[in-house]
Amino acid sequence: MRFAFILSETFSGIRRNLSMVISVVLVTFISLTFVGSAGLLQMQINQMKGYWYDRVEVAIFLCNDTSTAASCAGGGITDAQRDAIEAQLDSPQAAAYVESYEYESQEQALELFQQQYANLDMAESVTAEQLPESFRVSLVDPEQYEVVNEMFSGMAGVEVVSDQRELLESLFSLMNIASVIAIALAIIMLITAILLIATTIRLSAFSRRRETGIMRLVGASKTMIQLPFLAEGVVAALLGAALASVATWAIAKFFIADWLASQYPQTGFISSAEALWLVPLLFLIALILAAASSMLTLRRYLKV
């Protein structure tokens, strides 16, 4: 009886206030879709990091006769210098960061170069002497690049320490900026949603002030009086969350998993199933939203 009564009060409230409820649904829908998109971007960044970081390495290029870097003033690398670098790579300090390394001679470098740029005329004219020898180092934690860089860039015979990750980082920072913008927009929209829900509840409370007045008079409990209004906001916010979940899933499915993945088959993309992890988050935000705005309103306009 009690539950049925609260339910019927809630729905009669929604019916009376339909246009406001629809605007709450839409604003929550849009703002949570922004949140969902930012979530997808972050998931995609993580996915790509996992995918690429296993494949990228730090290259310690060694001096050759044509090097111009200051550390190569002594000309090409000597065997002693090369041994010193290798010893450093094997040392216990480095062991914490270095997972494995490989030596690449000038001949191997030439071979790789010619493979990669087989269609370039220039490839034929390049000789092994023009290319640097290098140590190819894969790191335990790719984020620790700076430590390795410091450890080796000062050493005699090292021309430059280069991190292939840097290329990816610029892509990731671009994606991060995009998700920050999405989150910023989402926050503005979420604030709008909170205020809109608060206004809706207030309007609803005003249009039903006779009923609530009588409820207070006869001693209805706080729950009985306030719950229908709270439920009204919650129902609207959850509807918005449901729509946003569908939109987020659709973006993951049709844009990322289907279209982008077919355009860039080499890259690891998130699947639409992974996007479903965002759904509980969106619903949680919607609930917090409704609760926050109810706190703003019920206390002031529906005191018992």
Partner 1 sequence: MIRFEDVTKVYDTTSRPALDGVTTEIVRGEFVFLVGPSGSGKSTFIRLVQREEKASSGTVYVSGRDVARLSSWRVPHLRRDLGVVFQDFRLLPNKTVFSNVAFAMQVLGKRRSLINQTVPEVLETVGLRDKAHRFPHELSGGEQQRVAIARAVVNKPAILLADEPTGNLDPETSWGIMEVLDTIHQNGTTVVMATHDNEIVNTMRRRVVELEAGKIVRDEAEGGYQPADNTAQLQSRLRKTEVK
Chain residues that interact with partner 1, rule: CB under 8 A:
1-2, 5, 210-211, 213-222, 224-225, 304
* Least distance between partner 1 and beta carbon 297 (Å): 17
* Least distance between partner 1 and beta carbon 229 (Å): 14
Tell me the H-state helices in the chain.
2-16, 18-53, 79-90, 92-95, 106-116, 122-125, 145-153, 165-207, 209-217, 222-250, 261-263, 272-275, 278-301
Q: Which is nearer to partner 1, 222 or 300 (CB)?
A: 222
> Residue 158: helix, strand or coil by DSSP?
strand
Q: Which of 149, 60, 57, 151 is nearest to 99 (CA)?
A: 57
Q: Which is nearer to partner 1, 5 or 264 (CB)?
A: 5
Answer yes or no: are the C-beta atoms of 58 and 168 closer than 8 Å.
no
Q: Which is nearer to partner 1, 17 or 248 (CB)?
A: 17
Q: Which is nearer to partner 1, 1 or 118 (CB)?
A: 1
User: Which two three-digit tokens encode residue 164?
Assistant: 């292939």
- Indicate the burial class of 226 (C-beta count within 10 angstroms; 0-12, 13-18, 19 or more): buried
C-alpha to C-alpha distances, 269 to 24, 195, 260, nearest whole angstrom: 33, 37, 8
* Least distance between partner 1 and beta carbon 173 (Å): 52
* Least distance between partner 1 and beta carbon 231 (Å): 15
* Least distance between partner 1 and beta carbon 3 (Å): 9
Q: Which residues pair with 22 in a beta bridge?
A: none
Q: Which is nearer to partner 1, 169 or 211 (CB)?
A: 211
* Least distance between partner 1 and beta carbon 201 (Å): 19
* Tokens 């041994």 found at: 83
User: Which two three-digit tokens encode residue 114?
Assistant: 């010619």
Q: Which is nearer to partner 1, 190 or 225 (CB)?
A: 225
